[in-house]
Each structure stands twice: as structure tokens, then as C-alpha cells.
A and B are shown apart, each in its own frame.
Chain A
Amino acid sequence: METQGPQLIPNDKKKIHLKSNAIQQFLAFGSLIILIIFFSIASPNFFQFNNIIGILLSTSVIGILALGATFIIITSGIDLSVGTVMTLCSVMTGVFITSMGLPIIVGVLGGILTGATAGAIAGIAIAKFRIPPFIATLAMMMIAKGLALVISGAAPIYFTSYEAFTEIAMGSIIPGIEIPNAILIFFGMAVIGGIILNKTIIGRFTFAIGSNEEATRLSGVNVNKWKIIIYSIAGIFTGIGGIVMAARLNSAQPALGQGYELEAIAAVVIGGTSLSGGKGTILGTVIGALIMSVLTNGLRILSVPQEWQTVVVGAVILFAVYTDVIRNKKAN
């Protein structure tokens, strides 16, 4: 059976193996289904249309932030600034629309641009000035937090006289079915994120940089440029998250936001994206974000005190990452 003569194929053992991403996604998806079944049995109030919509609505902001964070984490970076940058974006939108009287669409674009700019600055600090992502985005987190407070005068900005703005999140563009736009925006962004990550050159370099930055650089790829682009894209997601947040609350709350970055990271990690980079999916992140909000919602319906909800979510993160570790070990 052995072929002879020169041929460039070393004879090593064939490995039967499933795509590891697929397994993790299956695991995460399975857990989500099990959670849903469990809570549906435990409480008749869980599997109700309104409650499901509530869950999706509460997933939307964290979910959008987590989509952006997925890109960063696949490059083996981290972004601690998404929570407060999101707030800064809401505040800027508030200023554009209410104080400056700009049209809503301009205010929205301005908010998104704020996110992109913050992302680009973090990206430049990381790529050009070689500041580790943890530190660069920690600094960005504090800068954004401070700026949001300064610009808003530490007071909420209300959009009460701009009803159309609230519609962005709470209205429903599909006639007949009461699905708030925030949810549609989340899923829409997920689709866009998935396309960018899997079908475009940006996604390819996201994986390549996370997998082996040096090899990518030696292949003649301008790694710095692409890192800045990737952080900017994540910033755009953050900006959109900020708009949805403001529209949902009908106000920009300058003191809110800190802590969201960790929940976003948690969603990404539960969804099977590896913090060491090179591996991850958008679908995983969507499922991860859903697991977190199903869990919180279900526990609340079962009247588990809020403090304990947090403990459970923490345990779930440990468990999720542990299955990931086991899986990686098996694969090797």
C-alpha cells in the first residue's frame, strides 16, 4: 500500500478529529437549551413570550459589546474599555442631539464615531506604542469614564422630547409582531460581525494575528494597521451598543457602564473563544450572551437573590472555560 519514490508527504498517523470549534459551540448551545428547559419546567412564568422578549432585550446591549470584544479576544488582545466607552458614546449622542440640536441620525452617527475613535486610539497605543492591551484599554476605560462625567456635567441627559430616538431600541419595525428593534439590531450586528469575521480579509487577519502575530508580520502583513482597524471595528460595535443603551433608557446615564466590559468578556469566553487567541466564533458569543441572560432571568423568576445570581454566573464561567481547557487537552 505504501507509495514509493519522491513525494512530499510524511507518513504520520491519521487523526480522527472533529473541528474543535464545532464541539464547543455544540456544548454551549446544548447548555443553553438545557437551561431553557430547566427553567421552563421550574417556573411556568419563564417560557412566556413577554419573558423571552425581556431576556433578548436584556441581552442586546451586552451582546453587541460582546460581538466587538470577540474580535479583540481572537487577536489575543483584551478590551477593558468597552463599558465606559459605551457610556461616553451615549453621552456624546445626547450632547449632539439635545444640546447641539443636531438631527437624530447625525447624533447617532456621532455616537458611533466616538466609539470608533476610542477604539482607534486604543489600537494605536497597542500597535504603535507597544502598550499591552490590558493596560492601554484600562487607561482608555478611565479616560472614557472621566470624559463622560465631564461632558455630561455628571448628570443624565434625557431624550424625552425626542421620541424618535427611543424608537431606535424600543420601537418595532416589523409590523404586527412586538419585537423591539434593540433585539433586531443585536441579531443584525451579529450577522454583520459573522460576515466580517469569516468572509473578509479583516477577519482573516484577526485570526492570523491571534494565532501567530510574528508569522503574520513575517508574511509581509502590516500587522499594526490591521490591529488598529480591528480595535476600531470593535469600537463601532461599542458605539452601537451605547446608542441602543441610551435609546432603551431614554437617557444617557454617565455613571453607568463600568462592569459591562467584564460581562461582555464573560459572554465571549462562555461562547468558546479562547483568551489565548486564534480561536472563536460570533455564534458562540451570541450563545454565550444568551446563556448569561437566561441564567440571570431564570434565577430571578425562581426568586434567587441577586447576590446568588452573581455567584452562579461566576461558577458558569469557570465551568465553561474548564470544558474548553479539557477539550483543548483532548485535541492535543
Chain B
Amino acid sequence: MAEKLLKMEGISKAFPGVQALSNVLFDLNKGEVHALLGENGAGKSTLMKILTGIYQRDSGTIIYQGNEIEIADTKEAQQLGISIIHQELNLARDLTVAQNIFIGREPKSGFRLFLNEKELNLMTQELFDRLNIRLNPGELVEDLSVAKQQMVEIAKALSFESKILIMDEPTAALTDSEIDSLFTIIRNLRSDGVGIIYISHRMEELKRIADRATVMRDGTYIGTVNMREITIDQIISMMVGRQIYQNQRPEIKNRRIEKVLEVKSLNRGSTIKDVSFDLHQGEILGFAGLMGAGRTEVARAIFGADPLESGDIYIRGKKVRVKEPLDAVNNGIGYLSEDRKQFGLMLEMDIKANIAIASMNGFVQTGWLNKLNINKQASKMVDALKIKTPSIHQLVKNLSGGNQQKVVIGKWLTRDSDILIFDEPTRGIDIGAKDEIYKLLNELAAQGKSIIMISSELPEILRMSHRVIVMCEGRITGELINDEKISQELIMTLATKRIG
């Protein structure tokens, strides 16, 4: 019989207007990987924040190593041996990798006041060696890519030598080979007797890594299952409580091939090298490639977020100058950033304000904001996109990750953009919502909107795109029609085809 490490019982937590958790059950054994599953807003992160002292529960008990405990704050959780990798990156960008990892636990050399930087870097290097992570302890975090920053977070959590390690979507920003290494680390920890709570929306990972899974829905406990005794489909139906929409590979025939957007010889430093492509009306054009291939850079350049060195952009045959996002928006381009927190949302404002922000002109009447129309539009979007929220007046920062993403989509749908660039539209989004977003993309394309979809998930690319463009190191290395001849292997080959 496995040794119980943790038992959470009858946990409830309410936020103003939201019952985030009601009577939730969760338990964890030593040396197991326990997946915590549920749709966006199911309450997974909230439950974990209660376990790490960030939120205080309204009711329920937490039994840890046989004793009932209270966890007042993060420090206490750390001392108890419970550490967490948060869903959002939480690093001090101006500090180095090593300084971030041991923040609050710095080795000191005198009077408990002076820092011992050498020892700090040494400790970090030892940690990295042990975990087989190749990062420079002295590098500034702001110079690291998102994936590397994620690695720093992981290393930091592991440095506590915790008994319980919580990972809230650790793989959302990682590539396949990085995920492999992470899994190796997780397996090692598991054999060392660490209990791991693993939150992810990537269903395909679960069979590989999880021993058991607990499913939540709408803040309630649905059940706990052994991974060996259940199929992914069964888990999904526990999560969503309904059948989900499945679409086939998109129909290629009978499409008008009017060129909506033509991009010619874009160049920007080492990130964009001679990129040319066309986008047709009513088409979903997938952009595949590894992280750092330059896909986001191309999107940002077309949207006017970054200046170009050279190259031309034509919209419906007319040459346009896109110097800043305003030009792009006026030309009917909408952009959903991969980093919605930083670039896509005003977190401190409510849903209706975020939905209206790109279309303010449409809501102004004789100099006054027509609040009624804004509210109507916001409600329409909340319904259409199934945004989970008590009302349109909720602050966006209080929404779960997936619902935040839907708000961004609502913003550009409100603007009625003809050309929509979706950068990783389903990152961090649950399987049910993912399907809704796929359905939405297909509907938009059917209505004649033209869509560029950047995605690092190949199944998503294959499932959604009419055509696929593959990039590697700033160049386009392939352009494929999505028909029977295409395969994940072919795309991967192109994505790693380095030229010069």
C-alpha cells in the first residue's frame, strides 16, 4: 500500500461572484505522479494555490504526512516541503538565473548580510548538473527565451528538494525534446519518493507520465482514476461531461483563391530572412516550426509591432505600409499574441473593456461611449465563445487562462477583422475549449475571413490548416497543401532543415 503524503478533504473557496471550489477532494501518495485535470476555470490552480498558502480556504481540511496543517503563506509551504511551478512565469527579469533560483535563500558570507555570489553560482551549477540542464547561471533572465525561463522555474522548484512538487502546466511553452527531458526528471523524482501533482491540458502526455488522475469540473470533484485502467476518451468525457466536437481535415476543394494578403521578401535581422507567402480568402494557413523559428516575428512584423528592414505587404492587391499596429488594424488585420498576458489583455480591466478596446470608434456616438452597445457586444461574445465568468464586469485577471484567451479572440471578432493572425491560439486551453476554438476558426474561415494560425502542435496544424508553411531559423523551408501526402514527419524534417 502506497504511503499517503497528502489528503485534502472538503475544500471550498469562493471569490466574489464565483464559487471556485466546492467540497473538493484530493490525495497524493509518495512517489506518484498525480494528474489534476479539468477544463479552464475548473479550479485546478485555485486548489494548488490553497495548498501553497497563496489563498486561504473557506473550509475543509489538509492532512500532510499524517498531521492536520494550516498553511499561512508561501514561506510556510516551502518549509513544509511543498513547492510549485506556477502556471504563469514568476521570475525577476533583471536578476540572473542563479539569483532567481535561490532568491530568499542566498548563501551569505558575513553577518548574514553579505552575499556570496560565487557560492551561489556554484550551487546553481551543481543543481543544473544534477538535473542535466544546460543553462548559464550568470545569465540575465530577461535575455532568455520563454522556454528557457520555464526551465529556470522548473529548476527553482526542484532546488527545494520538496516532498511535494506541483507543476501547473509546465509544458505549455516547451518543445517535444524539452518535454522528454522534463519527464526524465519527473521519473527520477518519483523514484526518489517525491509526490508530484501534474496539471496539463495536453492529454497525450498523461499516459506517459501520470499514475493517477483526479478530474474536476466547475469547482467540484468528479473522480479519481488509475491511469492504467482508463482511456483518454473516458477522461475527457469526465472533464467536459458532454460529447466534444470533432472535425475532419478541412475541405480543400471549392475554395475561392482570391489573394487577400501577399507578403514579399520580408527581412528583419536574423529573425526573418526573405519570407514571402500569400494568404487566400477563407483560408486557414498554418505556420509550423520549432520554437524560435521566426513565426511570431513574421506575425508581429505584418501586424506592425516590429519594424521591418525590407519587404512589401499587399492587401487585396494594394501595397500597404504597416508601420504600427494601428495601420494593421485599419487594414483589417487582427493579431492574437502568444503571450496574451503581456500583449493581448488589460488584466486590470474588465471583460467588456477588453472586448471593446480595439473597436472604440464603433462604440462612440456623438462623442459619448455607448455603454449599452458595449455591454451588448460583450455579452454576445461571452455567450458565443462560452467565456466562463459570473458577468461581463469581471476583471480579466480573475479569469482562468483559457477564458482569458477567449476574451482576446472576442476583441478581434468585435473589430470584425478580415485577416486574423492567431499565435498559438490554444496554448494552455482545455480540450473542450480547444474544440470550441477550432470550431470557431472553421466558422470564421467559412464566413470568408482569412486566418494565419501559428502553432507548435502538429496535430493542431494538420487538423486545421488548408495549407501549411514551415519555417526554420527565420526562413520558409516548405509550403504544403494539406492533403493525404502530408505528415508530421515531413513537417518535422522541414522544420529542422537548416540552411547555411
B156 CB contacts on chain A under 8 angstroms: 219
Does B180 count as interface, using CB distance less than 8 angstroms?
yes
Within B118-177, which residues are at the interface with A (CB < 8 Å)? 131-135, 143, 145, 147-148, 151, 154, 156, 174-175, 177
Does B54 count as interface, using CB distance less than 8 angstroms?
yes
B75 CB contacts on chain A under 8 angstroms: 220-222
Task: Kindly state the separation between the CA atoms of A45 and B343 in the bound complex, as whole angstroms.
Answer: 54
**Are B90 and A200 closer than 8 Å at their CB atoms?**
no
**Are B99 and A215 closer than 8 Å at their CB atoms?**
no
**Are B103 and A8 closer than 8 Å at their CB atoms?**
no
Q: A13-B271, A212-B90 are in contact. List 5 more A-B contacts (CB 8 A).
A: A8-B133, A9-B148, A10-B178, A218-B74, A219-B104
**Are B151 and A8 closer than 8 Å at their CB atoms?**
yes
**Are B103 and A221 closer than 8 Å at their CB atoms?**
yes
A216 CB contacts on chain B under 8 angstroms: 92, 103-104
Do A204 and B99 form a contact, CB below 8 Å, given A12-B147, A220-B74? Answer: yes
Q: Measured between C-beta atoms, what is the minimum distance from B443 to chain A in Å? A: 35
Q: Which of A6, A13, A203, A208 contacts B184 (CB 8 A)?
A: A6
13 A-B residue pairs with Cβ-Cβ distance under 8 Å, sorted by A, are: A6-B180, A9-B151, A10-B178, A201-B106, A204-B115, A208-B99, A208-B103, A211-B94, A215-B91, A215-B103, A220-B78, A220-B104, A278-B94
Q: Measured between C-beta atoms, what is the minimum distance from A194 to chain B in Å? A: 13
Q: Measured between C-beta atoms, what is the minimum distance from A236 to chain B in Å? A: 15
Task: Kindly state the separation between the CA atoms of A159 and B175 in the bound complex, as whole angstroms.
Answer: 71
**Are B115 and A11 closer than 8 Å at their CB atoms?**
no
**Are A10 and B291 closer than 8 Å at their CB atoms?**
yes
A interface with B by C-beta (< 8 Å): 6-13, 15, 17, 199-204, 207-208, 210-212, 214-222, 278-279
**Are A207 and B94 closer than 8 Å at their CB atoms?**
yes
B103 CB contacts on chain A under 8 angstroms: 204, 208, 215-216, 219, 221
Q: Measured between C-beta atoms, what is the minimum distance from B138 to chain A in Å? A: 11
Instruction: Give the contact-size bracket for chain B.
Output: 35 or more
Does B237 count as interface, using CB distance less than 8 angstroms?
no
Q: Measured between C-beta atoms, what is the minimum distance from B92 to chain A in Å? A: 4
The chain A residue sitting closest to B270, CB to CB, is: A13
Do A9 and B133 form a contact, CB below 8 Å, given A199-B114, A204-B115, A221-B103? Answer: yes
**Are A200 and B143 closer than 8 Å at their CB atoms?**
no
**Are A221 and B104 closer than 8 Å at their CB atoms?**
yes
Task: Kindly state the separation between the CA atoms of A220 and B174 in the bound complex, as whole angstroms.
Answer: 26
Q: Measured between C-beta atoms, what is the minimum distance from A328 to chain B in Å? A: 10
The chain A residue sitting closest to B99, CB to CB, is: A204
Does B393 count as interface, using CB distance less than 8 angstroms?
no
A204 CB contacts on chain B under 8 angstroms: 95, 99, 103, 106, 115
Does B86 count as interface, using CB distance less than 8 angstroms?
yes
The chain A residue sitting closest to B91, CB to CB, is: A215
B95 CB contacts on chain A under 8 angstroms: 204, 207-208, 211
Do A12 and B148 form a contact, CB below 8 Å, given A207-B95, A215-B92, A279-B94? Answer: yes
**Are A218 and B148 closer than 8 Å at their CB atoms?**
no
**Are A217 and B74 closer than 8 Å at their CB atoms?**
yes
A221 CB contacts on chain B under 8 angstroms: 75, 103-104
Task: Kindly state the separation between the CA atoms of A228 and B88 in the bound complex, as whole angstroms.
Answer: 28
Task: Kindly state the separation between the CA atoms of A204 and B99 in the bound complex, as whole angstroms.
Answer: 8
The chain B residue sitting closest to A202, CB to CB, is: B113
Does B189 count as interface, using CB distance less than 8 angstroms?
no
**Are B132 and A6 closer than 8 Å at their CB atoms?**
yes
Q: Mark B285-312, 1 if CB is under 8 A from A, else 0.
A: 0000011100000000000000000000
B330 CB contacts on chain A under 8 angstroms: none
Do A199 and B115 form a contact, CB below 8 Å, given A7-B134, A9-B134, A204-B106? Answer: yes
B151 CB contacts on chain A under 8 angstroms: 8-10
Do A215 and B134 form a contact, CB below 8 Å, given A6-B181, A200-B113? Answer: no
Task: Kindly state the separation between the CA atoms of A17 and B143 in the bound complex, as whole angstroms.
Answer: 9
Q: Mark B64-100, 1 if CB is under 8 A from A, else 0.
A: 0000000001110110000000100011111100011
Q: Mark B236-270, 1 if CB is under 8 A from A, else 0.
A: 00000000000000000000000000000000001
Q: Which 9 residue pairs spanning A and B have beta carbons closest together?
A: A278-B94, A211-B92, A10-B147, A6-B181, A220-B75, A215-B90, A12-B292, A211-B94, A221-B104
A8 CB contacts on chain B under 8 angstroms: 131-135, 151, 154, 178, 181-182
A278 CB contacts on chain B under 8 angstroms: 92-94
**Are A7 and B177 closer than 8 Å at their CB atoms?**
yes
A200 CB contacts on chain B under 8 angstroms: 113-115
Task: Kindly state the separation between the CA atoms of A218 and B55 in the bound complex, as whole angstroms.
Answer: 12
Q: Measured between C-beta atoms, what is the minimum distance from B96 to chain A in Å? A: 10
Does B108 count as interface, using CB distance less than 8 angstroms?
yes
Task: Kindly state the separation between the CA atoms of A11 and B270 in the bound complex, as whole angstroms.
Answer: 14
A6 CB contacts on chain B under 8 angstroms: 132, 177, 180-181, 184
Task: Kindly state the separation between the CA atoms of A203 and B117 in the bound complex, as whole angstroms.
Answer: 13
A10 CB contacts on chain B under 8 angstroms: 145, 147-148, 151, 174-175, 178, 291-292
Do A212 and B93 form a contact, CB below 8 Å, given A9-B135, A204-B99? Answer: yes
Task: Kindly state the separation between the CA atoms of A219 and B159 in the bound complex, as whole angstroms.
Answer: 12
**Are A201 and B94 closer than 8 Å at their CB atoms?**
no
A203 CB contacts on chain B under 8 angstroms: 115
The chain B residue sitting closest to A195, CB to CB, is: B114
Q: Which of A7, A13, A211 contacts B93 (CB 8 A)?
A: A211
Task: Kindly state the separation between the CA atoms of A70 and B71 in the bound complex, as whole angstroms.
Answer: 36
Task: Kindly state the separation between the CA atoms of A208 and B177 in the bound complex, as whole angstroms.
Answer: 31
